[in-house]
Amino acid sequence: MMKRVYFNDVVTRDGFQIEPNFIPTDDKVKLVDELSDCGFAKIEVTSFSSPKAIPMLKDAEEVMGRIKRVSGVEYTALVPNLRGAERAFESKADEFNLVMSTSETHNLANLRMGREKSFAGLAEVIKYVDGRTPINVSLSTCFGCPMEGEVSRDVVEGFAKRFADLGVRGLTICDTTGMANPEQVKKMCDSFQKQFPSLQLTLHFHNTRGMGLANILAAVQSGIIRFDGSLGGLGGCPYAPGASGNVSSEDAIHMLDAMGYETGINIPKLLQLAKELSQIVGHEVPGQVAKAGSTYTLHPEPSYVEELRRQQ
Ligand code: COA
Ligand code: ZN
């Protein structure tokens, strides 16, 4: 039996937040609609962060209001604090993706407060939401912080446990700047699945050091079925030094499909969309499969091959 995996595309949030030039609202809405047509289980549409912190996503309300809602697709949004939750609520996000870092330094850099203050604020958000909307918590820098270095598994699991106790539906374990390696991923996934068997667990990798697909492989082989990816491999936290693109959705989906996993995605459509992305952002994007074509896209043989074949 084919095993089903579920992808959340984060290009219009994680992908766009680090882009230097403002991407017009029309382009964001159109891209989300096209991602819906590709068959993603979830799309992280935008972020209800402070528009001063993330000017690219200052049009969050308008984007949420204009996208087409396809049944079976969840439209989630990043929420850093209570103000963000109020805005996400008004915009009818299907899920609130709360965020904090497991590294004190990265939390201060990104959210301008310490971890305990973030946790208390997010606990307040969970109370305010009161079960009306499912909550996911993305924990940043779980595999290492670009400023502090190692973040201990005890710290990561400590925050995970505190959120699990508050009744969240899911947790996303984020490798914010691509520091994870497959062995570390396997250990983390085994431990999380054992400790939190009833939570939806998602893995979020950045391909900063070329380990993104290897880490996805390690996670899926440990039993993880939910992944974040970003079309074209765009992305990065503007407040994490050295951040670069997420693992490319199409490269990861192409790999898992070739291995026999059921992704639910229309891959030719996804590759076409990835090809068009460079026009939207105005530069080349890192994803590889959209450039190479899928393994099913064959090239014509050179003309001299037929001659050689006859001589054999
Ligand atoms: N949405 C809109 N405005 C917000 C807001 C939100 N979620 N949170 C705060 N603000 C506004 C406040 O109203 C206030 O506005 P004013 O200056 O006009 O009075 C201003 O922002 C400062 O508010 P404050 O509570 O002091 O926030 P802050 O400046 O300490 O910023 C965060 C805290 C969390 C809001 C901000 O750092 C942030 O949005 N970070 C998100 C970073 C992010 O998304 N990173 C990438 C994803 S990992
Ligand atoms: Zn990220």
Mention every residue, 6+ apart, whose C-beta is less than 8 A from residue 105.
145, 147, 148
Rounded to an integer, what distance in angstroms lies between the CA atom of residue 185 and that of residue 216? 9
Q: Is 108 within 8 Å of 114 (Cβ atoms)? A: yes
pLDDT of residue 2: 82
**CB hemisphere CA count around 205 (13 angstroms):** 29
Question: Is the pLDDT confidence value at 268 over 90?
Answer: yes
Question: What are 292's two structure tokens?
Answer: 């190479």
pLDDT of residue 265: 98
Q: Which ligand is nearest to the CA of 81?
A: 1
Q: Between β-strands 226-229 and 95-101, what pairing exists: parallel, antiparallel or unpaired? A: unpaired
Q: Express each pLDDT in 195-229 by its tens digit.
A: 999 999 999 999 999 999 999 999 999 999 999 99
Rounded to an integer, what distance in angstroms lies between the CA atom of residue 272 and that of residue 287? 12
pLDDT of residue 182: 98
Rounded to an integer, what distance in angstroms lies between the CA atom of residue 127 and that of residue 113? 20
Question: What are 113's two structure tokens?
Answer: 């407060």
Amino acid sitting at position 232: G
Question: Is the pLDDT confidence value at 269 over 90?
Answer: yes
Write down the CATH number for the domain with range 6-311: 3.20.20.70
Whether 54 lines ligand 1, by a CB cut-off of 6 Å, is yes
Whether 48 lines ligand 1, by a CB cut-off of 6 Å, is yes
214: CA distance to ligand 2 center in Å?
17
Rounded to an integer, what distance in angstroms lies between the CA atom of residue 256 and that of residue 235? 21
Helices (H) then strands (E): counts for the chain = 12, 8
52: CA distance to ligand 1 center in Å?
7
Longest dimension (CA), the chain: 77
Q: Express each pLDDT in 13-22 by its tens digit.
A: 999 999 999 9
Whether 294 lines ligand 1, by a CB cut-off of 6 Å, is no
Q: Which ligand is nearest to the CA of 99?
A: 1
Task: Please give the positions annotated as active site.
Answer: 237
Q: Express each pLDDT in 231-266 by its tens digit.
A: 999 999 999 999 999 999 999 999 999 999 999 999
Nearest CA to ligand 1 atom 15: 50
Q: Is 43 within 8 Å of 36 (Cβ atoms)? A: yes
Q: Radius of gyration over alpha carbons of the chain, in Å?
A: 20
Question: Is the pLDDT confidence value at 105 over 90?
Answer: yes
Mention every residue, 6+ apart, whose C-beta is less than 8 A from residue 230.
9, 10, 11, 14, 15, 245, 246, 247, 248, 249
Q: Identify which of 235, 277, 62, 217 has the alpha carbon closest to the alpha carbon of residue 138.
A: 235
SS3 state at 47:
strand
Cβ-based burial of 84 (10 A; exposed 0-12, middle 13-18, buried ≥19):
buried
pLDDT of residue 1: 65
Nearest CA to ligand 1 atom 6: 50
Q: Which residues surround ligand 2, an ion (CB under 5 A)?
A: 14
Q: Where are the domains of the chain?
A: 6-311
Residue 205, φ and ψ in degrees, nearest 5: -115, 145
Question: Is the pLDDT confidence value at 41 over 80?
Answer: yes
